[in-house]
């Protein structure tokens, strides 16, 4: 049975979201699954840690002199806060490029305080505010290192994307990876939930030095991975070096979990209808159901165990809650 997320209004059910999840162990074996582990979905921004790893593997990140905080931003879907914008700008400066070289496009900061500050200042958003600006700085670092040119770096036939694709083939064990264009104009991949779980399991091991660096960067700088109040930042902070997670558009998520009864696990989740409201509660309920979080970790994440729904007068009018059959 899949995981069911029930959205109530009062005592009555208003909506149901269906979540598929897959957990794999150190041997790559499925140890828990709800729904279909062969379900194919777009990995979206949950691919970013592996795109960052490919950049490290190419030698581009060391050549650029990016530090751990900057590697963390390469893995981010950040909220466009000042720290994110400044970090992305610093990365571009290190490789001698500017925001004009970005292919990611422009959108306002997702963080409303930062968005309102721009409006009050009469400043227009620029590509540095794009939630993918760190990822694109990493891709531009590959372009600088391997081609000495930013031109067409998001084109699937460009050496940047071919370098990333080759690394993804290695990490995933899939030779023919379906690729489509993400919201930021860079290619992203389609994988089964089992493959996504296996990818994240590799992120929890010592098998690939570049993946170790990515895990450590995200663990050390969780705020750069997302930002204020975001689930990814709060989860990574609460797990304190024992796990990282990265969500993606249309409600997909990967988790790399270390040292759970001596095992390193990889977990994938997908809300089938793409609703983001089901994912945080679904994630914590799954991990609690499988006894994969300590009491201390759960207490730090208790706000995500069940979410209250509020109306415009801040009155409680229902809940978002998740059920998993034993």
CA–CA gap between residue 317 and residue 8 (Å, rounded): 8
pLDDT at residue 155 tops 90:
yes
Q: What is the 3-state secondary structure (H, E, C) of 126-193?
A: CHHHCCCHHHHHHHHHHHHHHCCCCCCCCCCCCHHHHHHHHHHHHHHCCCCCCEEECCCCCEEEEEEH
Provide the token pair at 77.
């879907």
Provide the token pair at 81.
């806060």
Higher pLDDT: 43 or 1? It is: 43
Q: Are 321 and 281 in contact (CB under 8 A)?
A: yes
Domain spanning 3-323, CATH architecture: 3-Layer(aba) Sandwich (3.40)
Q: Are 233 and 227 in contact (CB under 8 A)?
A: yes
Provide the token pair at 78.
């950040």
Pairing of β 252-260 and β 307-310: unpaired
Q: Are 183 and 47 in contact (CB under 8 A)?
A: no
CA–CA gap between residue 304 and residue 153 (Å, rounded): 38
Q: Are 307 and 277 in contact (CB under 8 A)?
A: yes
List of residues 6+ apart from 293 with CB closer than 8 A: 284, 287, 301
CA–CA gap between residue 193 and residue 96 (Å, rounded): 39
Provide the token pair at 113.
């305080």
Q: Are 253 and 279 in contact (CB under 8 A)?
A: yes
Neighbours of 297 (CB within 10 A): 18
Residue 8 class from Cβ within 10 Å (0-12 exposed, 13-18 middle, 19+ buried)? middle
pLDDT at residue 326 tops 70:
no
Q: Are 154 and 187 in contact (CB under 8 A)?
A: yes
Supply the pTM of this predicted model: 0.97
- The pLDDT assigned to 259 comes to 83
pLDDT at residue 325 tops 90:
no
CA–CA gap between residue 290 and residue 25 (Å, rounded): 13
At 283-299, the pLDDT tens digits run 999 999 999 999 999 99
Cα 60-88-54 angle, rounded to 5 deg: 30
Q: Residue 108: what are its φ and ψ, rounded to 5°?
A: -65, 160
Q: Are 46 and 247 in contact (CB under 8 A)?
A: yes
Lowest mean pLDDT among 48-62, 73-87, 304-318: 304-318
Helices and strands, number each (H, E), in the chain: 13, 11
At 10-44, the pLDDT tens digits run 999 999 999 999 999 999 999 999 999 999 999 99
pLDDT at residue 6 tops 90:
yes
Mean per-residue pLDDT for 71-93? 98
Q: Residue 107: what are its φ and ψ, rounded to 5°?
A: -150, 155
Q: Report percent pLDDT > 90 for the chain.
A: 97
Q: State the chain's mean pLDDT as an integer.
A: 97
At 200-240, the pLDDT tens digits run 999 999 999 999 999 999 999 999 999 999 999 999 999 99
**Structure letter (DSSP) for residue 130:** S
């Amino acid at each position: 049975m899949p995981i069911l997320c029930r959205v109530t209004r009062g005592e009555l059910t208003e909506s149901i979201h269906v979540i598929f999840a897959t957990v794999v162990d150190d041997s790559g074996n499925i140890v828990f699954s709800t729904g279909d582990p062969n379900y194919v979905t777009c990995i979206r921004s949950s691919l970013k840690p592996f795109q960052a790893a490919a950049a490290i593997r190419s030698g581009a990140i060391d050549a650029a002199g990016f530090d751990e905080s900057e590697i963390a931003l390469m893995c981010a879907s950040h909220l466009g806060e000042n720290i994110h914008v400044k970090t992305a700008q610093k990365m571009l400066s290190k490789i001698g490029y500017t925001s004009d070289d970005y292919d990611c496009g422009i959108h306002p900061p997702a963080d409303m305080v930062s968005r309102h500050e721009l409006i009050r200042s009469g400043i227009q958003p620029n590509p540095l505010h794009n939630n993918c600006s760190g990822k694109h700085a990493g891709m531009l670092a590959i372009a600088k290192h391997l081609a000495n040119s930013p031109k067409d770096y998001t084109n699937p036939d460009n050496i940047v994307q071919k370098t990333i694709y080759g690394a993804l083939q290695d990490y995933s064990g899939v030779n023919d990876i379906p690729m489509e264009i993400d919201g930021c104009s860079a290619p992203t991949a389609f994988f089964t939930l089992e493959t996504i779980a296996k990818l994240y399991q590799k992120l929890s091991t010592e098998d690939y030095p570049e993946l170790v660096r990515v895990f450590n960067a995200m663990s050390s700088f969780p705020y750069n991975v997302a930002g204020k109040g975001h689930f990814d930042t709060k989860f990574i902070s609460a797990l304190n070096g024992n796990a990282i997670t990265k969500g993606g558009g249309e409600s997909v998520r990967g988790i790399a979990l270390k040292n759970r009864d001596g095992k390193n696990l990889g977990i994938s989740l997908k809300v089938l209808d793409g609703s983001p409201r089901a994912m945080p509660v679904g994630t914590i309920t799954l991990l609690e159901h499988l006894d994969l979080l300590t009491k201390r970790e759960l207490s730090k994440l208790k706000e995500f165990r069940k979410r209250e729904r509020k109306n415009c007068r801040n009155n409680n009018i229902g809940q978002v809650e998740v059920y998993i059959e034993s």
